Structure 1
Amino acid sequence: MKHVLTTGVFLALSTPAFADQSVSINFVAEIGGKPFSCTETYDGLGSTDASVAGTDYRMFVSAPALVRADGSLQPIALEQDGKWQLDDVALLDFEDGAAGCNGTGNPDMNTSLGGTVPEGDYQGLAFTVAVPFDKNHGDPTLAPAPLNATSMFWNWQNGYRFVRIDMVPTDKKEGGPKGWFLHLGSTMCAAQSKTEAPSACANPNHMPVLFTEFDPATHVVVVDPAPVVVGADLRINAPETSPGCMSFPGDSDCLTVMEKLGLPYGDIPAGTQQLVTVR
């Protein structure tokens, strides 16, 4: 008899050695602690307590793994569903294309990733918010799902938006931005031409996530940009820059943001990532 952690409790099973067990990791999207909806407005955000409406909310994760008691990682073999999961990459889509999300969104949603792991005693969760380099630079119109999500793609050099959370201030200052967007992706990627894959990126901006305590049966992964943008004024935008923070160097809208994604930005060292938590 062996003991296997499958649903937060130990079960006695008489299954063959090395049998696989299914695992599902559930995610929830929030803004300021409130469930995300394309029809809602969210108050008290950023350095000026701005009110915003959400217009897009998606995120790529890769290399998901459960954490064993000794700290080692067991990769989750993702189900190859032909739509949301490809190899070790999954697209999470929290918008339903309604109301303010009808510009870039779509009705289909995906709020979990699923696959299998060998039977074992697991106590944590790890993944990376990113698209791996070898999949990040190509033609999305020719890529299999979910990498065919063209609205998550920047260009050949920089690749995909790993995070796309679009917010529109409803109480913006006169002449203020039409939107304040939190987009995370690789930047400063050297390539010979605009249609050639780069050899490397100076700022990969892959965001590692590790939870030492996580039970898929009782815990959910919570995504919320409010702690990330707490020091930013969402009602204005730095002149001659993209709306909000899109990870690119030289954007003062990113000065208080990137460190809270656990990433360095210019001379600002990385802090603790605050976008993703467990509940």
Structure 2
Amino acid sequence: MADIVSLADGVGRLVRDGDTVALEGFTHLIPHAAGQEIIRQRRRNLTLVRMTPDIVYDQLIGAGCARKLIFSWGGNPGVGSLHRFRDAVQHGWPVPLEIEEHSHAGMANRYVAGASGLPFAVLRGYSGTDLPEHTDTIKPITCPFTGERLAAVPAINPDVSIIHAQRADRAGNVQLWGLVGVQKEAVLAAKRSLVTVEEVVDELAPVPGGMVLPTWAVTCVAEVPHGAHPSYAQGYYDRDNAYYEYWDSVGRNRDSFEAWVREKVLDMEGSR
């Protein structure tokens, strides 16, 4: 059964230095508050996993939390580059960042394999690309039935997966709906999981197209209103497009970024 905890307690209990950590959510329900709590607790040497690292990972990388990034696309959606990500790769600031790049299909299949208890996934998605030449975790494999040449990618089994959802009940069952990505698979593939939610309620009312993660599949739940901001949470608030533009100016140079970390993250210690 999932424990209902504070955000600070959840991160403190589940995220450890050197862990492989996945923060998932696609455009919608991105766990920004949890990412900032990881910064606040000064975790280091993390391997960060995410299909679409955007500004939540730019913040973690710029704060020196990451040593490696496993991903399939990176950018500030609708705006441009992730400047802290770029600085870490090109100049090793604040620490050098190793990267492992896959396709979206490759990453999704890796999560599915991890959630299914399988050692690897097989797909056609890398045919005609040069990614296998640059990524050691893409290997050719021959179908034993047809002889077709395919690609194999290893399962992803994070030490911790963190997602955001709309709500949970007091037993720790989690409900999310709207545009979802690989949140379910990321949780099921992980050794430990933290779900931040907009609210904890007495009963989960059915929602068309909704998904429920049962309490036995989740380690901890934390009530964090607006925990996905500046991304959106369907039924609760819209995407804050101005924030994504604002982030481009904050992340563009080291001084402005460090000022942001001090004022908006570290000085907020204890606020959640």
Which category of TM-score, normalised to the shorter sequence, fits these structures?
A: under 0.3
Query: Scaled by the length of structure 2, what TM-score is found?
Result: 0.23
Kindly indicate whether structure 1 or structure 2 has the higher relative contact order, using CA contacts under 8 Å at least 6 residues apart.
Answer: 2
The structure whose Rg is larger is: 1
When you count strand as a share of all residues, which structure comes out higher?
A: 1
